[in-house]
Amino acid sequence: MALKIWLNDRLVDEQDAKISVFDHGLLYGDGVFEGIRVYSSKIFELDAHLKRLYESAKVIRLDIGMPMKDLAKATAETVRANNIVDGYIRLVITRGIGTLGINPFTCEKAQIIIIADKIQLYPQELYQTGLKVISACTIRNHPLAIPPQVKSLNYLNNVLAKIEALDAGVPEAIMFNHEGFVAEASGDNVFIVKNSILCTPPIQAGSLEGITRTVVMSLAAAENIEVVQKNLTRFDLYVADEFFLTGTAAEVVGVVGIDGRKISDGKPGPITQLLRKRFFEYAHGQSK
Ligand code: PMP
């Protein structure tokens, strides 16, 4: 069935959802976006996603041109119009139509695109068996380049890391920062468990402040699991008791190998499995 797409100020049919070839989102990757889940007809952590979107836009001096509460309403309307019960929303704000030069201020008006659709997940068995990953050669954006907290339309750095993973025959790559510390995966945040302590790199190590990451840290705290944000090295990953990734699409997924080495006994560990279960319950509103 054809989708209804939100374009600027209204819903249009999929075949009419078109943007200009002069949009700087296309010409320069100039824009910001969010990926958001819908669970049991409820939009997951919408406020947190919108806050991140508006902050990303602020950093790149992009005026979204719509108050946050109206964008929240438009998002809900798009979900409803497409009868999405469990699915995925892609919210995209482009700089808009401008001249061929890089100057963003030639663009008059940001373009707002909201797509609500079904979601393509990792195959279910990967959640049982866990993923293998590699260390990427491509480093995460330097903090003095586009700040890594900005969820911009320019994902080429992460795309290069993803290609490295796929070339190596695994689905994900771990990206390090310019100092050699773990930043994140190409589209997910990184966690390890060592001696029963849950560790994740601080945001300053160059990761996106993942919404799933925040939820998982509070679910862990509710289970009386100690949570520590600290710099991690490749050594820490290699000797981890458990290793997992979090993200909107991946949720909580165990990592069982890196660079051809096995993590622990090569199976997703007990804390990973517990947090995956708690996350599922929370997302579907069955939290204790
Ligand atoms: N890091 C990057 C680079 C991402 O693109 C994402 C989102 N896919 C994440 C981390 C995870 O963030 P979230 O939990 O908000 O989806």
Q: Per-residue pLDDT tens, the chain, 288 aa: give them.
A: 799 999 999 999 999 999 999 999 999 999 999 999 999 999 999 999 999 999 999 999 999 999 999 999 999 999 999 999 999 999 999 999 999 999 999 999 999 999 999 987 788 899 999 999 999 999 999 999 999 999 999 999 999 999 999 999 999 999 999 999 999 999 999 999 999 999 999 999 999 999 999 999 999 999 999 999 999 999 999 999 999 999 999 999 999 999 999 999 999 999 999 999 999 999 998 655
pLDDT at 287: 53
Q: Distance between CA atoms of 31 and 63, rounded to whole angstroms?
A: 10
pLDDT of residue 122: 81
Please tell me the residue having the least CA distance from ligand 1 atom 8: 187
- Residue 201 in contact with ligand 1 by CB distance below 6 A: no
pTM of the model: 0.96
Q: Which residues are catalytic?
A: 151
Q: What is the pLDDT of residue 286?
A: 64
Q: Tell whether ligand 1 has an atom less than 6 A from the beta carbon of residue 250.
A: no
Is residue 210 within 6 Å of ligand 1 at its C-beta?
Answer: yes
Which residue's alpha carbon is at the smallest distance from atom 9 of ligand 1?
188
Q: Which protein residue's CA is at the shortest distance from atom 13 of ligand 1? A: 210
| Distance in Å, CA 89 to ligand 1 centroid | 14
Instruction: Locate the ligand 1 atom nearest the alpha carbon of residue 184 and give its number.
Output: 1
147: CA distance to ligand 1 center in Å? 14
Question: Domain 124-283 - what CATH class?
Answer: alpha beta
CATH dotted code for 4-117: 3.30.470.10
In the chain, where are the structural domains located? 4-117, 124-283
